[in-house]
Amino acid sequence: MRGTKLLYFKLSRSAIKLKELKDNLVVCVFLRKTQTPAFFWEKYLNNLLLKSSINNLNYPLKPELPPHFTQKEFIEWFVGFTDGEGCFSIRIQNEKTISLIFTIELHKDDVEVLHKIANGLGVGRVLVNKNKDSALFFISKFEDINSVLIPLFKNFPLQTTKHLDFISFADAASIIFNSRNLKKKLSLLELEKLIDLKQSINTKRLIINEEENKLLVDKVYISKWWLLGFIEGEGTFGYKHLVPYFQIAQNKKNLFVLKAIEAYLKEELVPSLINSENKELEFKYNLNKLTGVYSMTFEKVDNNFYHLIPFFESLTFLSRKSLDYEWWVLSVFIHKLGYFYLPEGKQIALQISSSTNKYRYTTAKDSLNKIGLPSIESILNLFKQTPPFDISSHRSHFELVREFTIAKGGRKGFLVHIYECDSTLDGMPLKEVKDSPFSTYGDGHEVLGLKRGSRVIGRYIDTGKLYRDKYRFSSVPLK
């Protein structure tokens, strides 16, 4: 690939070094030890909290790629990240001013990964636009586009419909190159062709014909490094009612890519030895008819614990998505071992969900972000307790939750105590509302004037957080 300055790194395939602390915890849990080794988390948590508090614009960047990355692995990662975040543009001002540009635009806090891309490719520039709170990696020099970018994507094709944008982009580059090489002006026919190509890319590509769709479906190929790059661009390590889930969302035109990812993961994700019952990996699809976006989601704690975490632990994230992932791992462990069903465990889960993903950005304005991340001390104190769930029993997480909640009493597994208090007055006694405790969440919701199916109590119970600055929910009586 003439003109490339791609970095080359050697990878020792004999062993992939995982984070020391988390590795020991995973091993201990998978060896069926019932007591979580809290001390293993301390160094890991210190590093994680430090990284989470850093504003990328105010500390020295670390733009180098990890030393174990090979050239091929970086390129595959970059192609996947481009499938998620990249943009090909053809700009035509007049017949004499025509330019091509490739861009990746992210939040300014994520600028470090753009520097890694620039260093890895050896071309392109990075700019931070403080007015827009964004950072931009771009390649605008025609020589770099023609000699580095286009050969790269021809040898390592994009997997989504963005591949069609690239084809149009490459065709435009070919017309411009021939014109420059022959030192002649563009003909009227060539200019019209460039205009047509410009109208066929990005959001202007409204329809994908049968031939184009066949091209995309027939060539799709998923590798683990492409998938990691794609996930760092399009994946979400999120929370629904404080329960961790993993999700990849795509426009319905790229449903075939989600299906290819599903097939790859079913083949690749071998459950850990502790999961002797070989529980099947479950993929859930939802279509937002308003936006035309499909979401492929892993919702079950068992799927995330036994399948996804071991897979991701064999990879190295390049972007700050690693922060979301690492806190998500902690939340998965809190759920899987049953700590979530202790008041202090649910409080930590609430803090994690309220301080990651969109809430981790320095520009986040949502009030939930004020809760802040949990302290190391609170996490270690939680882990010093015997886990409520014995996962060595090989029972599903659903069964363990059901057994635990029923044991606590109540027709639905919990008794719901609702207390009324004044958030502006410290030390005021709690006053239990009339008819409390309730045997179902629905009864409690009705007393508050909410619909029986509301999620309010589920989100607030045992967290110590007040609903409407007035009501506190607990599964046990409070003194």
User: What is the set of domains in the chain, with CATH numbers?
Assistant: 20-60+222-383 (3.10.28.10), 71-158+162-207 (3.10.28.10), 408-474 (no CATH)
Which pLDDT score is estimated for 360? 84
**What DSSP letter does each residue of 139-175 carry, written as one string?**
E--HHHIIIIIHHHHHHS---STHHHHHHHHHHHHHH
Which pLDDT score is estimated for 168? 94
**What DSSP letter does each residue of 224-242 carry, written as one string?**
HHHHHHHHHHHEEEEEETT
Cα of 120 vs its chain's centroid, Å: 22
Which pLDDT score is estimated for 64? 76
Which pLDDT score is estimated for 253? 93
Q: Is the dihedral of CA 164, 267, 315, 327 positive or negative?
A: positive
Which pLDDT score is estimated for 84? 96
d(CA 293, CA 82): 19
**Tokens encoding 425:** 């007055």
Which pLDDT score is estimated for 428? 58
Which pLDDT score is estimated for 410? 43
**Tokens encoding 380:** 């270690």
Which pLDDT score is estimated for 409? 53
pTM of the complete model: 0.79
- ∠440-442-446 over CA atoms, to 5°? 125
CB-based burial of residue 97 (10 Å sphere; 0-12 exposed, 13-18 middle, 19+ buried)?
A: exposed
Average pLDDT along the chain, 479 residues, taken 10 residues at a time: 28 27 40 38 56 46 76 96 96 83 95 95 92 93 95 96 95 91 83 90 79 89 96 94 92 95 86 49 91 94 89 90 92 92 87 86 63 83 88 86 72 73 60 90 92 87 81 79
CB-based burial of residue 260 (10 Å sphere; 0-12 exposed, 13-18 middle, 19+ buried)?
A: middle
Which pLDDT score is estimated for 24? 41
